[in-house]
């Protein structure tokens, strides 16, 4: 993957998958503009050409960040996210509404041929069984309306992460051709459980369900397992992938699909 000469924005770049992605993109020759609400540590700073501090759950903060980021962007890696322990409102604001707002505000600042990669999740696997609630979230424009929407659709804190990722998967599929005339493509990556600073939050919130998934897997993923997939989607070699949701989960999505339909293996 040759990313020399490309300028790529990475959100959530201060830790976890975001930090690993920034490092991988830098190693492939890209200039990385890092966006995070937390300042990076000294070791990570070498992976960034520039750091923009922003809270992606705050529309005003997103607007300010877009102005600082500027133009001439070749890629946007939407990796910032919150675990369900952050509470349903914050989780949905950052994981979906903020991500969508940043992306749509950045479109005019992207170069033709740019790539957008959304960090979805195995948690979004079951979106087709939750269409009504997902449609309601997709229709929500007001960040202040999250609590009412969650109450109307029975979304509690534990469910909020799954819900946000279901909406993100669908939004990615919907935007398969939105900016096709400019050659701008959008895809998603869906990891399973990954050893990041927020993994303990998932285990504590989701309990037995998360433990069962972990027991099936031979190991949890590592950020370094996910970052090269994002880098590939940023490269010209992925130019014919549009609206794809790529599982990077050690086989978990295949396992769930086989189990649901009575196939072994």
Instruction: Show which residues are catalytic.
Output: 161
Burial 197-208 (b: 16+ CB within 10 A, else e): ebbebbbebbee
The secondary element (H helix, E strand) that includes residue 22 is: helix 16-27
For the record, the structure tokens of 28 come out as: 């492939």
Mention every residue, 6+ apart, whose C-beta is less than 8 A from residue 195.
220, 221, 222, 223
Phi-psi group of 83: left, alpha or beta (phi > 0 → left; psi -120 to 50 → alpha; rest → beta) = beta
Alpha-carbon distance 41 to 179, whole Å? 36
* Burial class of residue 160, CB neighbours in 10 A (0-12, 13-18, 19+): buried
Neighbours of 5 (CB within 10 A): 9
Please give the span between the terminal C-alpha atoms of the chain, in angstroms, as a whole number. 33
């Amino acid at each position: 993957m040759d990313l020399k000469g490309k300028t790529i924005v990475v959100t959530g770049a201060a830790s976890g998958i975001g930090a690993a992605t920034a490092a991988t993109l830098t190693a492939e020759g890209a200039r990385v503009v890092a966006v995070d609400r937390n300042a990076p540590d000294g070791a990570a700073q070498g992976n960034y050409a520039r750091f923009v501090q922003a809270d992606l759950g705050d529309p005003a903060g997103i607007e300010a960040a877009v102005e600082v980021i500027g133009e001439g962007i070749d890629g946007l890696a939407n990796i910032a996210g919150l675990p369900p322990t952050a509470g349903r409102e914050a989780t949905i604001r950052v994981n979906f509404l903020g991500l969508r707002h940043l992306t749509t505000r950045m479109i005019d600042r992207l170069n033709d041929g740019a790539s957008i990669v959304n960090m979805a999740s195995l948690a979004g696997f079951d979106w087709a069984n939750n269409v009504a609630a997902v449609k309601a979230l997709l229709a929500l424009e007001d960040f202040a309306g999250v609590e009412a929407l969650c109450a109307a659709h029975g979304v509690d804190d534990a469910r909020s992460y799954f819900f946000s990722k279901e909406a993100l998967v669908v939004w990615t599929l919907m935007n398969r051709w939105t900016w096709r005339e400019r050659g701008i493509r959008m895809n998603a990556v869906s990891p399973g459980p990954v050893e990041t600073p927020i993994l303990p939050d998932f285990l504590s919130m989701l309990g037995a369900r998360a433990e069962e998934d972990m027991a099936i897997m031979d190991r949890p993923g590592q950020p370094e397992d996910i970052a090269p997939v994002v880098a590939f989607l940023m490269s010209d070699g992925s130019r014919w992938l549009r609206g794809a949701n790529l599982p990077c989960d050690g086989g978990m999505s295949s396992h769930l699909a086989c189990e649901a339909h009575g196939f072994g293996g």
